[in-house]
Amino acid sequence: MKLLHLSDIHLTASGAIIGGRDPRVNFERALAHALNDHHDAELMVITGDLSDWGDLADYQWLKQRLDAYPLPVRLCIGNHDRRAAFLSVFPDLADDNGFVQGIHDTAAGRCLFLDTAHPETHAGRYCGDRLGWLEARLSEHDGPFLLFMHHNPMPVHLVPFDQIGLVDEAPFRHLVSGHRAKIRHVFFGHCHLPLAGSIAGVPVSSLRGTNHASYPLFSETKLLSACDLPQSYGVAFFGEDYVTVHMVEYGYDGPIRTQGSPDYKAWDRETMVR
């Protein structure tokens, strides 16, 4: 089974740019690239920061665009999103408490989409109501589960990023720990960085967004860092006893060399002789 993971698309008004890049154009490029290479994906998930300013028009445009996309898509919201505006366009994605949380079953497991957004802050929250929802969903089904969220659920050890990570990370990880035998993987966004690790023994991964990129500048302790690395999306493959996750840098426009090209002519792959 194959699943696509996009994050931090940061949609803006048509023609507006962030970091010298047009988020709408780059999102369109990501959709086209993913569909060309992975038209057999069972699901696409976009883990938040759907809009850069939480503008209603961005969500309206996104809905129109995704309604025409041939793959099923599920959404999480992030710190740049506005829940009320989002739910006015996607009302069916609300849980009983008004958070953007839901379920989608796939061949690889039951997907749970979590809402870690909190108004007026870039840090994430996962309050008692949301923890209760997640506990109930994990308890009512045998799994396996795949979790999707916006904020990083563990420290990334980059001070400016950890200052806006998940504030309730310890209770969240404690809940995950109690169900870790049923959770295959946790996918998140927010940091605009390729990241991998684990929480309570459960593997986690993240990636750069579809527009602007961050950089792991460990010497910087106050300001978020940005760079011009290529835009990306993720593709995950699920076997019975494994998960493989790629970050596809579709924004890269340099050469790609394969065996048989001039750099590799003197090397025989079959005999390992050069």
Domain-wise residue ranges, the chain? 2-264
Query: How many CB atoms neighbour CB 119 within 10 A?
Result: 10
In this structure, the number of other CB atoms found within 10 A of the CB of residue 86 comes to: 25
Longest Cα separation, the chain? 64
| pLDDT given at position 267 | 65
- Rounded CA-CA distance 80/70 in Å is 27
The CATH homologous superfamily for domain 2-264 is Metallo-dependent phosphatases (3.60.21.10)
Q: Please tell me the predicted confidence (pLDDT) of residue 115.
A: 98
For position 137, what pLDDT does the model report?
A: 98
The token duo for 216 is 């792991």
How many Å apart are CA 78 and CA 70, to the nearest integer? 24
State the pLDDT at residue 264: 63
**Radius of gyration of the chain, Cα coordinates, nearest whole angstrom:** 19
Residue 65 pLDDT = 98
C-alpha–C-alpha distance, residues 67 and 247, integer Å: 25
Residues 6+ positions from 211 with CB-CB distance below 8 Å:
8, 9, 10, 18, 19, 21, 22, 23, 26, 27, 231
Q: Decide: helix, strand or coil at residue 195.
A: strand
Q: From the first residue on, what is the mean pLDDT of each consecutive set of 10 residues in the chain (274 residues)?
A: 98 95 98 98 98 98 98 98 98 98 98 97 98 98 98 98 97 98 98 98 98 97 96 98 98 86 66 70
- Residues with Cβ within 8 Å of 38's Cβ and at least 6 positions away in sequence, in order, are 2, 4, 235
